[in-house]
Structure 1
Amino acid sequence: MFNLDNLKGITVVQMTKITALLLALGMAAGSAQAASSIDGGNITFKGAITTSPCGITADSAEQVVDLGTVTASKLKKGEEVRRTPFSIVLTDCELGTQKTAKVKFTGAPATGNDALLGLQGTEGAKGAGIAIMSDNNTVIKPGADSPAFNLNNGDNVLRFQAQVQRISDTAEVTAGRFNVQTGFLVSYE
């Protein structure tokens, strides 16, 4: 317990020094406390629980397939352009009676060729669309099922290819940028 009688005989100068010392100690304690504080942030966890026999990896569920630059002259001549591979990875498959998977791409078909995905968000690009092919080179029409993929327990990689194609032999191909978005659905049999 602090007693004021202990302060008798202390001069004003000594009291000022004691007060300054106590203030300095208080500020040092506050600085030490501030130095040990840590900045924070937020983390969002997202996912899904499914009754399907397989899950889909996050990288497969949200992906960008860069088709690069294709020359309009090649498309006009009907020449084959580069195919770009992509895949959908099914994970932790626990197969019962369902041993195969089919994939349906849900994007809008191109006007004039329903086998291709239509260009969207174009900055001038016209006369072409995107073909999606299964690993056996079968073109998968938008809204149609892919050929069946045989599955194994564990992880399975479903391989596809995408290619820019001219809509028809008479379509005018115009240079420019484009984006094409499509969803996909996996069904099991």
Structure 2
Amino acid sequence: MKMTKVAIISLLTLSVANIANAADQGNGKVTFSGSIVNAPCSIAPGADDLKVSLGQVSNTLLAAGGEQTAVPFTIDLQNCDDATRHTVTATFTGKSGADGRLGITGEASGASILLRDGSGKKVELGTATDAQILNGTNNSLQFSAALKGDGTTDAPVAVGTGAFTSVANFTLAYP
């Protein structure tokens, strides 16, 4: 009888140990964030925090104001109510670079980021883009970015090598 009780207690102990072991085989957390805005369109999830890689650009390309091939990016809008507002503009702000461009920080120097709208027109920091027409509930605002040397043929600027970053904030308006 004692042997049966010991066997049952042993089995129960092992079962509890296995349940405790299986209870946590990995964990984590999910944090949800966002904001509610008074606007006719919602900015699509992920489009409010874009990451655009300009890659590794040769310093010789940037010498005397050279420019890399532009890298496209979009700001996606969804759930638009184009019955109340028909157009949208974007204004980019950030560290000032040469000639109204976006400046860079880090080891690299002698270049800045040229932003253009979907038609290829230069976007000046702090100035609203031309109005783009809203078409239906989902819209994509097209832009591009290119690293451009700060110098010119007549006034060269040394292009320093190394990593760089730059942050541009954008604000939408519905005129």
- Report the TM-score range of the alignment, normalised by the length of the smaller protein: 0.7 to 0.9
2:128 is equivalent to residue 145 of structure 1: yes
1:50 maps onto 2:37 in alignment: yes
Letter in 2 for 1:62: D
- In 2: Cα distance, 1:138 partner to 1:105 partner: 14
Cα RMSD over matched residues? 2.0
Q: Which amino acid aligns with 2:38?
A: T
1:94 aligns with 2:77: no
Contact 2:42 2:79 in 1 (8 A): yes
Which entry has the higher C-alpha Rg, 1 or 2? 1
TM-score (norm 1): 0.81
2:111 equivalent to 1:128 = yes
- Provide the C-alpha distance between the structure 2 equivalents of 1:77 and 1:61, rounded to a whole number of angstroms: 34
Asked whether the 8 Å contact 2:73–2:143 carries over to 1, the reply is yes
Which structure 2 residue ranges, 5 or more long, are not aligned? none
Distance 2:172 2:147 in 1: 24
Aligned to 1:184: 170
SS at match of 1:41: coil
Return closer, same or farther for 1:32/1:109 CA change in 2, 3 Å cut-off. closer
Q: TM-score, normalised by structure 2?
A: 0.87
From 71, 81, 101, the counterpart of 1:116: 101
**Aligned ranges for residues 22-33 of structure 1 at < 5 Å?**
22-31=8-17, 33=19
Query: C-alpha displacement at 1:35, in angstroms?
Result: 5.7
User: How many residue pairs end up in the alignment?
Assistant: 171
Q: Secondary structure at the match of 2:3?
A: helix
Give the Cα separation in 1 of the matches to 2:140 and 2:68.
Answer: 24
Q: Which residue does 1:164 correspond to in 2?
A: 147
Give distance in 2, aligned partners of 1:28 and 1:76: 72
> Structure 1: 5+ residue runs without aligned partners?
1-13
Displacement, 1:80? Answer: 4.0
Equivalent residues of 2:66, 2:149 under 8 A apart? no
Cα distance change on mapping 1:118 and 1:32 into 2, 3 Å: closer
Q: Higher relative contact order at CA 8 Å, sep ≥6: structure 1 or structure 2? A: 2
Per the TM alignment, residue 18 of structure 1 is displaced from its structure 2 partner at its CA by 3.8
- The separation in 2 between residues aligned to 1:34 and 1:133, in whole angstroms, is 58
**Alignment-derived partner of residue 55 in structure 2:** 68
Contact kept in structure 2, 1:115 and 1:139, CA below 8 Å: no
- Percent identical among aligned pairs is 28
In the other structure, the counterpart of 2:69 is 82
Any idea what the Cα deviations from partners look like across 1:86-105, whole Å, max 9, x if unmatched? 11001111123311111111
2:12 counterpart letter in structure 1 = G
- Helix, strand or coil at the partner of 2:135: coil
CA distance in 1 between counterparts of 2:29 and 2:62 reads 48
In the alignment, which residue of structure 2 is the partner of 1:4? none
